[in-house]
Amino acid sequence: MSVLEDNIAKLDGYLARFREGGISNRIAGKDCAGSQGLFQTISPVDKSVICDVAHGAADDIDTAAHAAHDAFGEWRDLPATERRKILIRIAEGIEARAEEIALCECWDTGQAYKFMSKAALRGAENFRYFADQVVQARDGQHLKSPTLMNITTRVPIGPVGVITPWNTPFMLSTWKIAPALAAGCTVVHKPAEASPVTARLLVEIAEEAGLPPGVLNTVNGFGEGAGKALCEHPKIKAIAFVGESRTGSLITKQGADTLKRNHLELGGKNPVIVFDDADLDRALDAAIFMIYSINGERCTSSSRLLIQDTIRDAFEAKLIERVQNIKVGHPLDPKTEVGPLVTEEHFNKVTRYFDIARQDGATIAAGGEVVGDEGYFVRPTLFTQATNDMRIAQEEIFGPVLTSIPFATEQEALEMANDTAYGLTGYVWTNDLTRALRFTDKLEAGMIWVNSENVRHLPTPFGGVKASGIGRDGGDWSFEFYMEQKHIGFATGQHKITKLGAL
């Protein structure tokens, strides 16, 4: 049996119970039907129905928000060391079921197993990392003044909503849910409608690890129904959102009446800038990895290559050769590098850019075509002869599609890099240290890597500027979002209190 056949057989075993009974919502530790009936989740690999999913909306969110509210006091007051133990057990549960999570995620989203096997383990790391921060999360400062001993402390904000997208959904969900639980918040999770399977696995693992009922609740459904209701619910104190920029703006509007605190991690059109003095072999590897891994469905992807004109021809020639060699195939085949795009809608969006590129006068130097008609597969694509004002250089395509644009000077590269609505990441390749310092200082992005692809380090701040988001998480920044700072001042003596009404 080949590894692919073996993976398919294992996946069948894992999915059997969902094919039989569908995926329910999970509220207060109980399976619940959706108030709107069912919807189906479809595999992008062969367009087959994976299973039915409970279709939740405002009523289901209301029940879940109340469950999270009711569970909050006990979870908040649990000794930090106890909360830590549960989070560690969740990490162990994820590790024990990493293969199941990875195979299900690949089938639900089209992501290649090559990358998803690690994404499941990164989910476990997220729980371990924040488990280790639990004990200090509430510690504050002593700020002595002449008359007062001022102290600060942090308390969890309350029940929070977590709304996640379909790209690497398991890892991204843990990235939000782990710090929320570590902070002492309870959670209502609304996973993306296109990828509900692993959200179900996460809540199961969490409950098996001893998470009390109601601390993590999962309500499936669509953005305009369940998602909107979560943003509007008065018992939900904050929304941690990952998704498109235009949805981020809706999240803000929907939360206005209840004065919601929002953390928005949104889209990107991230530049990788390659100067002619760089290590070009490494720059090539990194540029390819950052746009063609994870199907290019990654917010931090380097979707714009800004290449110095002195090395452009040679660099693009090597790029074309490599892009044409990328292995597109069944996501459960461990050799596959690019799998199918997540949904029909997204496939249509990405493939429309092949026409847009031609209409705008760019050249399709590689790819630009679909692969077969069984699933939503496209060839990894490279656009050349492009300019930064073209739609292919300005709009987030969110697929394995790279736009290459030449520049002559550092100043021109900087202007092009910043000439976008987005500002999530930037990747700078140069061996000139002072240029790197100058350039990164002026580059408009929340996260920048010099001579490196995106290498995530959990204590560092993650987030974007401009249309790429508001707020940061990672390290203590996550606790800043899920917790409230509280100041308490203790008088240290009999300082003068101004008397009113006393003659």
Q: Which C-beta is closer to ligand NAD: that of 227 or that of 380?
A: 227
- Among this protein's residues, is 74 annotated catalytic? no
159 binds ligand NAD (CB under 6 A): no
Binding mask 48-87 for ligand NAD (x = CB under 6 A): ----------------------------------------
Beta bridge partners of 449: 427
Half-sphere exposure of 491 (CA within 13 A, CB side): 5
**Under 8 Å CB-to-CB from 154, ≥6 apart: which residues?**
137, 138, 139, 140, 479, 483, 484, 485, 486
Question: Per the structure block, which two tokens stand in for 162?
Answer: 């977590």
Q: How far is the CB of 130 from ligand NAD (least distance, A)?
A: 17
Q: Contact between 174 and ligand NAD (CB under 6 A)? A: no
Part in contact with ligand NAD (CB under 6 A); list of ranges 144-152, 159-167, 211-219, 447-455: 159-167
Largest CA distance in the chain: 96
The piece of 8-16, 45-53, 78-86, 165-173 that touches ligand NAD (CB under 6 A) is: 165-173
Q: Considering the complex, what minimum distance in angstroms separates the CB of residue 51 from ligand NAD?
A: 18
Q: Which is nearer to ligand NAD, 208 or 345 (CB)?
A: 345
Options 56, 158, 165, 214; binder of ligand NAD; rule CB under 6 A: 165
Q: Which of 95, 99, 244, 276 binds ligand NAD (CB under 6 A)?
A: 244
Pick the binder of ligand NAD from 18, 72, 354, 398 (CB under 6 A).
Answer: 398
How far apart are CB 222 and ligand NAD at their closest, in Å? 6
14 binds ligand NAD, rule: CB under 6 A: no
- β-pairing, 370-371 vs 238-242, is unpaired
Helix (H, G, I), strand (E, B), or coil: what is residue 260? coil
Cβ closest to ligand NAD, residue 39 vs residue 275: 39
Nearest CB to ligand NAD, comparing residues 39 and 377: 39
Q: Which of 41, 186, 247, 420 binds ligand NAD (CB under 6 A)?
A: 247
- Spatial CA neighbour of 78 closest among 249, 244, 215: 215
CA dist 286 and 15 (Å) reads: 35
Residue 99 exposed, middle or buried by CB count within 10 Å (0-12, 13-18, 19+): middle
Integer Cα distance of 28 and 77 in angstroms: 18
Cα(348)–Cα(378) distance, integer angstroms: 10
Residues 214-243, one symbol each (x = binds ligand NAD by CB under 6 A, - = not), give: --------xxx--xx--x----------xx
Name the residue nearer to ligand NAD (CB basis): 294 or 365. Answer: 294
Q: Is residue 472 within 8 Å of residue 450, measured between CB atoms?
A: no
Residues 99-158 that bind ligand NAD (CB under 6 A): none
Within 10 angstroms of residue 460's Cβ, the number of other Cβ atoms is: 12
Q: Which of 66, 176, 190, 472 binds ligand NAD (CB under 6 A)?
A: 190
Closest to ligand NAD by CB, 244 or 484:
244
How far apart are CB 228 and ligand NAD at their closest, in Å? 4
Q: Does 347 bind ligand NAD (CB under 6 A)?
A: no
Q: Of 100, 125, 265, 453, which residue is the catalytic one?
A: 265
Residue 395, both tokens: 């709009």
CA distance 31 to 77: 26
Q: For residues 439-468, which are near ligand NAD according to CB under 6 A?
A: 464, 468
The residues pairing with 238 across neighbouring beta strands, listed in sequence order, are 160, 261
**283 or 424: CB nearest ligand NAD:** 424
Q: Which residues pair with residue 23 across a beta bridge?
A: 53
Helix (H) or strand (E) holding 415: helix 410-418
- The answer to whether 190 and 230 are in contact (CB under 8 A) is yes
Q: Which residues contact 369 (CB under 8 A, 6 or more apart)?
A: 354, 378, 379
Q: Per-residue x/- mask for ligand NAD, residues 368 to 397, rule CB under 6 A? A: ----------------------------x-
By beta-carbon proximity to ligand NAD, the closer residue of 231 and 405 is 231
> Using CB atoms, what's the residue nearest to ligand NAD?
223
- Give the length of the chain: 503
The CB-side HSE value for 158 (13 A sphere, CA atoms) comes to 14
Please state the closest distance from residue 191 (CB atom) to ligand NAD, in A.
6
Contacts of 247 (CB under 8 A, 6+ apart): 223, 241, 266
* Shortest Å, Cβ 83 to ligand NAD: 26
Q: How far is the CB of 256 from ligand NAD (least distance, A)?
A: 13
Q: Which is nearer to ligand NAD, 223 or 271 (CB)?
A: 223
Phi, psi of 237 (to 5 degrees): -90, -20
Find the binder of ligand NAD among 299, 350, 402, 413 (CB under 6 A).
Answer: 299
Rg (C-alpha) for the chain, rounded Å, is 24
Residues that bind ligand NAD (CB under 6 A): 163-167, 172, 190, 192-193, 222-224, 227-228, 231, 242-244, 247, 250-251, 254, 265-268, 299, 396, 398, 424, 464, 468-469
User: Hey, which residues are catalytic here?
Assistant: 265
